[in-house]
Amino acid sequence: MDLGDKDKVEHEKSSEDPSNFHHSGISSNWHFESANLANTSTGLVPTGNSMSVCKEDLVGSSSCSSASMVESFCPSLWEQPTNPNTLGFCDINVQTTASTSGALGFRKGLPGSFRAGIEKNLDHGWNPQGIMMKGGMFLPTAAAMLPQSLSQFPADAAFIERAARFSCFDSGNFSDMMNPINMPDSISLYTKGARMMPGPQAILGGNKFRSVAEEDQPQRNEQETVGGSKTVSMSIDHVATEGNPQKNESPRRSHDEAKLGVGGSGNESDEAEFSGGGAEEEASILVCAGRQPSPNKGIGLKKRKRGGQDTELDHTKGVPEQPGEPAKHSSEIQPKVDQSPCSTANKPNGKNGKQGSQTSENPKEDYIHVRARRGQATNSHSLAERVRREKISERMKFLQDLVPGCSKVTGKAVMLDEIINYVQSLQRQVEFLSMKLATVNPRLDFNIEGLLAKDILQSRAGPSSTLGFTPDMATPYTGMLQPPQSGLIQPGLSGLGNSSDALQRTINSQLTALGGGFKEPNPQLPNMWDDELNNVVQMSLGAGALISSQELSGSLPLGHMKVEL
């Protein structure tokens, strides 16, 4: 792969590079693109102290021999720790990487263009480094990581590209995203590889990366010539931000979704495809790696810059065509993305805004008329399914609003998980509160308490969010200790034939007497009671039976209580 690609690249670029690159020395680097490490090494070369020699060697060399020289340098480069010197080459690398990594945005090679050649080469592992070059400091360590990681995985260009993109983002989120759900082996592979990548970045964090990227932007602004690539990147960003910071199993789905969504309008051209492909790549990766718009911004901008670079390089011919497609797709992507943020199953969402189905618009009719969107199957089954899916996604949106903590999470599986957890927690709360009430009120008399409670209920206008569950955990424990005693008192007192009011008063007095004694040990105990509420209560009840006679006198054997509990 290396040699063949190299040749290709050489042929295509040999004449064009010097004019377009700021550093002629770097232009010769194109020859070595195919070597995964080569590009980064060459990128580093201009600025690295020890690499100055390399640079000279590279300048003016257009043969494979120099490639081999560079390659020979590569290992040494990789072994080097992060060179502060390498940071200095931000400018240089920005441009080189911009041009070369422009390929990052375009996964499916451009037809017959120079970029296509580069991209194909870049696909095989160069990309991650391209991205990392931006961060500067990332490079050596990240690059060092790459060879190992790359060797582990099947030479899946798409995967590597994605993994590279993963590495660009804040690694903090990454494990969260990649981890929790049961994953098939394939996905776990991805997570492994991807996790490896962000390792070095963890040091610097996504923020730094972003800041660096943003620093680079002004430089690139001058170079921005293609609005199309801009829209592509924007569309990428949109797709990424809208669609779905999902967990790992859904990168595929968002992948597909974005792809279909973007390309759904018809596979008009290769550019369309690749922008769609790029978008999908971006979507999947950006989605998985970062739920942060800013990294997307940075990268989107980078992509734009790289796109600019690429056009700068030579491709005025190819370029004008491309913006048209991406622009169209971006506009298509946006409405689609806007309208279906949460459902990952909504594949055919190509042109939601324009030709949306009329399901909700015909309330009077018995049938739901659905118009097939352009580029989608008109099979009745698929139409019906699409309608069904859209309805479900609508419901999911509502649920998203209802279930706390779901606003950012999208994707059916994750949403369902959250919903299930929420429902379970609510049901548990009900159980718990009913237990608490049972212990507080031995005779199920809520009359007086009800009257008082109403006042108290209304006076307590505080936001009693259902999430504030844990603060209540402490109170029931205090309640738990008291009622067993009062519960035992009750039968005794009721036997006296007191009125309910009197009973309540006595109960309250008993409770207060008990409560006063119990207040001190309580704070220490709550932790123990988490799962053993019933057991404890029963224990205390059983133990309390022995003490009931004593309690009637009003004195509390505190010692007893403590021992029992």
Partner 1 sequence: MGGEEDDDDEDEEDALVGVVISRMPPPSSIKKEFLKKWLVGLKALSNSRSSSTSKKEMSVLERKKAIKLSADVAMASLKNGTTSWSRALIQNASKDGNNRTLLKSMLGSEYDKKLRIGSTTTSIMCSKGIRNTTVLRRSCGLRRARKISKDQRVRAGLMAKRLVKKRTQVLRSLVPGGEYMDEYSLFEETLDYIMSLRAQVDVMRRLANASAFSSKS
* Interaction residues for partner 1, span 288-307 (CB under 8 A): 293-294, 296-297, 300-301
Query: Between 107 and 146, how does the x/- string for binding to partner 1 read (CB under 8 A)?
Result: ----------------------------------------
The whole-angstrom separation of Cα 174 and Cα 166 is 8
For residue 192, report the phi and psi dihedrals to the nearest 5 degrees: -60, -50
For residue 504, report the phi and psi dihedrals to the nearest 5 degrees: -60, -40
| Interacting residues with partner 1 between 383 and 402 (CB under 8 A) | 388, 391-392, 395-396, 398-402
Q: Which residues lie below 8 Å from residue 20, measured CB to CB, with a gap of 6+?
A: 27, 99, 312, 313, 314
Q: Which is nearer to partner 1, 88 or 517 (CB)?
A: 517
Residue 93: CB atoms within 10 A of its CB come to 30
Residue 463: CB minimum distance to partner 1, A: 6
Residue 408: CB minimum distance to partner 1, A: 7
Q: Which is nearer to partner 1, 53 or 528 (CB)?
A: 528
Residue 523: CB minimum distance to partner 1, A: 14
Rounded to 5°, the CA angle 521-527-529 comes to 90
Residue 360: CB minimum distance to partner 1, A: 14
Give CA torsion, residues 271, 273, 278, 280, to 10 deg.
Answer: 160
Identify whether the C-beta of residue 305 lies closer than 8 Å to the C-beta of residue 223: yes
Residue 137: CB minimum distance to partner 1, A: 25
For residue 360, report the phi and psi dihedrals to the nearest 5 degrees: -85, 0
Residue among 14, 447, 498, 548 that touches partner 1 (CB under 8 A):
447
| Interacting residues with partner 1 between 321 and 360 (CB under 8 A) | 334, 344-345
Exposure b/e, 430-467, CB count within 10 A at least 16 = b: eeeeebbeebbbbeeeeeeeeeeeeeeeeeeeeeeeee
Residue among 187, 368, 372, 493 that touches partner 1 (CB under 8 A):
187
Closest by CA to 484, choosing from 546, 428, 434, is 546
| Interacting residues with partner 1 between 531 and 560 (CB under 8 A) | 534, 537-538, 541
Q: Which is nearer to partner 1, 354 or 460 (CB)?
A: 460
Tell me which stretch binds partner 1 (CB under 8 A): 85-93, 232-240, 271-279, 524-532. 232-240
The whole-angstrom separation of Cα 372 and Cα 343 is 19
What is the residue-wise DSSP string for 108-119? SPPTTSHHHHHH
Residue 564 in contact with partner 1, rule: CB under 8 A: no
| Interacting residues with partner 1 between 189 and 228 (CB under 8 A) | none
The whole-angstrom separation of Cα 372 and Cα 350 is 11
Residue 18: CB minimum distance to partner 1, A: 33
Residue among 64, 69, 181, 513 that touches partner 1 (CB under 8 A):
181
What is the residue-wise DSSP string for 338-407? HH-SS-SS----TTTTTS---GGG-SSSSSPP-PPPTTS---HHHHHHHHHHHHHHHHHHHHHHHSTT-S
Residue 391: CB minimum distance to partner 1, A: 5
| Interacting residues with partner 1 between 463 and 502 (CB under 8 A) | 463-467, 472, 475-476, 478-479, 482-484, 487, 490-491
| Interacting residues with partner 1 between 241 and 270 (CB under 8 A) | 241-242, 249-253, 255-256
Residue 505 in contact with partner 1, rule: CB under 8 A: no
Identify whether the C-beta of residue 71 lies closer than 8 Å to the C-beta of residue 32: yes
The whole-angstrom separation of Cα 511 and Cα 253 is 59
Residue 197: CB minimum distance to partner 1, A: 18
Residue 423: CB minimum distance to partner 1, A: 5
Q: Which is nearer to partner 1, 78 or 518 (CB)?
A: 518
Residue 476: CB minimum distance to partner 1, A: 7
Residue 429 in contact with partner 1, rule: CB under 8 A: yes
Q: Which is nearer to partner 1, 116 or 536 (CB)?
A: 536
Q: Which is nearer to partner 1, 20 or 482 (CB)?
A: 482
Q: Which is nearer to partner 1, 52 or 421 (CB)?
A: 421
Closest by CA to 19, choosing from 316, 285, 294, 442, is 316
Residue 518: CB minimum distance to partner 1, A: 10
